[in-house]
Amino acid sequence: MNIFQYPSRPEWAALQQRAAQQQSAEVEQRVQQIFEDVRQRGDAALVDYGRQFDRADLSGAGGLRVGPEELAAAGAQVSSELQAAIRQAHANILRFHEAQVPRPEQVETMPGVSCWRRAVPVQRVGLYIPGGTAPLFSTLLMLGVPAKLAGCPHIVLCTPPQPDGSVNPVILFTARLLGIDTIVKAGGAQAVAALSGGTESVPAVDKIFGPGNRYVTAAKQLATRYGVAIDMPAGPSEILVMADATANPAFVAADLLSQAEHGPDSQVILLSDSLYILEQTQAAVQRQLQELPRAEVAAQALTESRAVLLRDVEEMLDFSNEYAPEHLILAVESPEELAAGVTNAGSVFLGHLTPEAVGDYASGTNHTLPTNGYARNYSGVSLDSFLKKITFQRLTAEGLRNVGPITEVMAEAEGLRAHARAVTLRLESLNLEEQRKEKSVSS
């Protein structure tokens, strides 16, 4: 990691640049071809792509869908220690997301005018969970918990098959814990294509969630052209650590490497007002890097990473808010005070004893977060991601008399006569009804 000392503010933009994520025309063209193939050939295309990309033969009994026997047997292949960890993480994530359940709200904006909003689950959701060298069962928890809590009636899980045609048992154990039993053995852009249009074995969905490589990312973007929503724009994982003189360089180094090992295009940024902390952290990174199974991947990510010496925590905060990191660690003396000034970040970790890794797995917050600066205008996945909010209103006769004339005036001012007439006819009807009642009483 190169150290940049006291850069001027005009120089910050260059230091905040992510590695260029070139979604090449070749990738987009290939993904388009996969979409068209899956839409034309359905399951047959998925079987062929499974053989081509995953070296898996899915043409036999069972085919693309995980059967109940395979799902039930998965637990026996997962250690009791990991099962217990997943169950506790599930409980923590559930507890945090339960607090997000919307409360009923009804407002009388004028006498006789009642308005309210009701949360309705997205009816059909697709969860894409990578299953290659790092099967992300933790992401299945992060997506499956709020999907079930929201009450989404149809949940489809797509994950790549292993060469023997099975699905990673930890993913299946987690799916069973969540109560998800529609599981498709398909990965990559072809899985997204299947979810967006449906095949014989894959139900079409309304919204797709989950991370993936550049082909999956391009496929999710293409899916939106077919009327399917996605969770958020996705990109490589990233972290920014703000460390003052009280920080522990070994802790900070471990946090930086925890993101660098995600992939070669991940980015880590270290800010400090202490040159000593930067230098000691850099040395700790080199020591710890040698011990990592994914050292080569992390080392490549570090080539696009930076350490920046700034004057004080206020400058660090300004730099961070401009960068808008996916993950932000405040390894400083007074993290709560500094956290109050954070305006752009996906998820924030306060203090020296709060590693970002706990958020990835088990603290309870969701780890599906905006990257590539999208934290300026996107939130991470939450219960709301799986809900739609529908507004309702009901007027009494008094309410129509109160709000109707206002509507008429505004509609006429915009030249929308039919809008005004929809109110006028009702007011006239009310007046006639009132006149009839008066005549009936007087007679």
Annotated binding site for Zn(2+): 259, 262, 360, 419
Binding-site residues, please?
Answer: 128, 190, 213, 237, 259, 262, 327, 360, 414, 419
Residue tagged 């961070």 (tokens): 320
Instruction: Report the C-alpha gap between 36 and 176 in whole angstroms.
Output: 32
- Pairing mode of beta strands 207-209, 267-272: unpaired
Distance CA(369)–CA(393), nearest Å, equals 34
Q: Partners of 110 in the beta sheet?
A: 113
Sheet holding 306-309, edge to edge: 2-5, 306-309, 267-272, 238-243, 327-331, 347-350
Please report which helix (H) or strand (E) contains residue 205, including its range: none
Strands, DSSP E only, in 277-425? 306-309, 327-331, 347-350, 387-395
End-to-end CA distance of the chain: 95
DSSP bridge pairs for 128: 158
Active site residues: 326-327
Parallel, antiparallel or unpaired: strands 347-350 and 387-395: unpaired
Radius of gyration from C-alpha coordinates of the chain:
27
Q: What are phi and psi of 221, to 5 degrees?
A: -65, -40
Report whether 18 contacts 322 (CB < 8 A): no
Give, to the nearest 10 degrees, the angle between helix 275-289 and helix 295-302: 150
* Amino acid letter, 31: V
Whether the Cβ atoms of residue 140 and residue 36 lie closer than 8 Å to each other? no
Q: What is the DSSP letter of 17?
A: P
Per the annotation, binding residues for NAD(+) are 128, 190, 213
